[in-house]
Structure 1
Amino acid sequence: MKALVLGCAGPTLTDEERALFRSADPWGFILFRRNVVSPDQVRALTAALRESVGRPEAPVFVDQEGGRVQRLGAPHWPSYPPGAVYGLMENGFARLGARLIAADLRAVGITANCAPVLDVPVAGANDVIGDRAYATEPQRVAALGRAAMAGYLAGGVLPVVKHIPGHGRGNADSHRALPVVEASEAELAAHDFVPFRALADAPLAMTAHVVYAAVDPDRPATVSPIVIERIVRGHIGFGGLLLTDDLSMNALSGTIGERAVAALAAGCDIALHCNGVLPEMRELAAAAPDLAGEAAVRAARALGLLEHPPEAFDPVDERLRFEAAVAAALANQPASTNPLVSAVAPAQGDPTEGRARSDA
């Protein structure tokens, strides 16, 4: 089994993809909008992905934060608010929103969600995080993140906290360019790292493709053994499974294979590749090592959390309660002090959609 999570190009697997997955045996898979048509189709796709590797427990990931970042949407799935709206509500609604999302995902065979976002935006930062964040105060982000993590786990879905050790101060969108953060390590520890340290017991985390100049001026966190050992595993104390952010993003340099080798050598456990481009996935399959050692232990520990059935839940009544609370929070928005949510939210594109190049 390779230390990989891979995507696929469309709503069904091609024969070439099946053959690659059978031979490469990635630990898991990830879906994007290009892979989603209807509930029945997604259920068939997640089953086909698992069948290709012969492991019914193989995790299937998605980015279903809500707001701009929601792969499963209308007309078959409800819309969810961005993280900042939860910042206008009591913490229990972050748990409830996550529990509802978990029910949606489990129903179609998706068992891991790349959420909650624990990044803490600062004034002047690039808006790639923006309203995806819960708040601008680290302790508030930590509390809401903790509630959301509990909701996902109660619904039988693994949460992936991101983007460790913090993307909120980034001066660029890492999908397009490499962000560099110039803040001192003391500033980062007092602000950016706080939510991740508070949720250091999360089962999985996703790295930030960000250079923290005070820690390692030469390499983004994903490929920096200094950041991963000293900050992620050390100061933050994260002990779970560490996934890279998408290796096909423009923040990173080198070939896809070189990026994977560098990230895994730096201390990441799993290399994530999202765009579904077959030649790149073949390169990764040749370059990535088997999942072994502590990384394998962490992976097994994470999957062990899915062995218990989800808690009892009435999605119909709870969704009505959730939607009423969201509507009330937005109705009171003009008086809010949350700077991440404007009174009239502008339409924004999804900054995180991993696409096959033919779709770009």
Structure 2
Amino acid sequence: MQGLRIFSGVDSVKMELWVDSVYTSLDLRARVGQLIMPIIYPRVTDTELLLARLKKEQWGGILFQKGMLADQRTLTIRLQQASPTPLLIALDGEWGLYMRLKDAPQYPRNRGLGDAGDLKLIEAYGAEVARQCQLMGIHINFAPVVDVNINPKNPVIGSRSFGTSPQHVAACALAYARGLEMGGVLSVAKHFPGHGDTHEDSHKTLPIVSASKARMKAVELFPFKEYFASGFGGVMTAHLSVPSYDASGRASSLSKPITTTLLREEMGFRGLVFTDALEMKGAQTGAVSSVAVAALKAGNDILLGPAQPAQALDEILEAQARGELTDDEIEEKCRRVLSFKYALILCKAKGGVEAEVVKDKIWTPEEAQLRARLQQAAKATTTDIDPTARTKAMRMKQVKAKSGKR
């Protein structure tokens, strides 16, 4: 993993010995399990059910969804204790833990901070999010968003983007990623190859990006190029149809020309490749027998959020048995995942705290001071608005207008 920041200071010889030891201890089912990351809601009442699922499905990691700080921390501890191989714990925290955990501190959205343009403040913000992640036992943040929001009708990116200029988006995203990875948390740039110029939502359908290769290289791909050149370690593939790179109409997350040829070979990305959630409609629109198998064949390392993780595991094993996926392909991906586990978990000082105190450890006077600075920086902008909330507000305004109310 030469050149990746997250491996700086990691003893490569010791890492390889550990990876070899763990890999040889796993049977084929467990090796495939390392490539699957289900989405889990952190409800303590579901602990026994989740422990049973973990034993059967042998996940490589977990993305926790909506919940509360103490509940997620409690489940993380229990599941880590039960897992033979350390679990990668991920956060979908574009604007911090609050995006998923509603008793965490709330920060401005990216566009407000992008408009303010204080890169040192954005880096400090990333470092604070990393500190909170470490307390929670979180190793990966699915951030920053590096989409360039050049389509004002985009229904899903909007204020999640740092702006409309590829150079400015890149500068802000790199600052946030530096803060995260200096704090020992893997950053994940999304949504490759660029979701900023769509007028549809990949949660609901398969959007089309009709730009030429030349335009994509200048706009959509520019922040990703800068991110890769800076040695950051994660990327998320989007569910987009991009005819200029794959005329088949297949989603980019399931496309070998995009996920392997463009991402790995042409752009030289050496890190960990995650799909966007495979339960999204954008991943379900193609004529493939198994989305999970197609995503691995395309070049992804980790399958995020399959609708049925146990079924995905069985489909991959069946594909391997009939030679559609080779042993070498599975081994390469599994070893890459294990290498990141060594760097992110075994080589980091244990920063996690008990569930009873995690909220107090997160809400500190220093955190409050930084939060105030971030809110002040974004205060002068009018773009720090959730596009969904904006749509709801417009609908409410229309309803009130029709009823004569203001």
How far has the Cα of 1:80 moved from its partner? Answer: 1.2
CA distance in 1, matches of 2:60, 2:164: 35
Letter in 2 for 1:226: P
Choose which of 313, 332, 341 in structure 2 pairs with 1:303. Answer: 341
Aligned: 1:78 with 2:118: no
Letter in 2 for 1:110: I
**How many percent of aligned residue pairs carry the same amino acid?**
29
Match of 2:172 in 1: 144
- Contact (CA 8 Å) 1:6, 1:273: kept in 2 or not? yes
How far has the Cα of 1:7 moved from its partner? Answer: 2.1
Match of 1:186 in 2: 214
Q: Secondary structure at the match of 2:236?
A: strand
Q: Secondary structure at the match of 2:189?
A: strand
Match of 2:251 in 1: 220
> Structure 1 length as normaliser, TM-score?
0.83
How far has the Cα of 1:159 moved from its partner? Answer: 1.3
Aligned: 1:250 with 2:281: yes
Match of 2:94 in 1: 65
- Structure number having the greater helix percentage: 2
Aligned: 1:167 with 2:195: yes
Letter in 2 for 1:324: A
Choose which of 364, 372, 389 in structure 2 pairs with 1:324. Answer: 372
Q: Superposed, which structure 2 residues align to 1:1-360 within 5 Å?
A: 1=30, 2=33, 3-12=35-44, 13-33=46-66, 36-37=67-68, 39-55=69-85, 57-66=86-95, 70-73=99-102, 76-87=103-114, 88-200=116-228, 201-217=231-247, 218-253=249-284, 258-273=290-305, 280-288=308-316, 292-306=330-344, 307-309=347-349, 316=364, 318-333=366-381, 340-341=383-384, 347=389
Q: Secondary structure at the match of 1:116?
A: coil
How far has the Cα of 1:314 moved from its partner? Answer: 11
Task: Give the 3 Å change call, closer, same or farther, for CA 236–310 of structure 1 in structure 2.
Answer: farther
How far has the Cα of 1:180 moved from its partner? Answer: 0.5
Task: Give the 3 Å change call, closer, same or farther, for CA 9–257 of structure 1 in structure 2.
Answer: farther
CA distance in 1, matches of 2:87, 2:146: 26
**Greater Cα offset, 216-225 or 7-16:** 7-16
RMSD: 3.0
Structure 2 unaligned residues grouped into runs of 5+? 1-29, 318-326, 352-360, 393-406
How far has the Cα of 1:248 moved from its partner? Answer: 0.4
Q: Secondary structure at the match of 1:211?
A: coil
CA distance in 2, matches of 1:228, 1:46: 31
Equivalenced residue count is 333
Task: Give the 3 Å change call, closer, same or farther, for CA 211–113 of structure 1 in structure 2.
Answer: same
How far has the Cα of 1:308 moved from its partner? Answer: 3.1
> Structure 2 length as normaliser, TM-score?
0.74
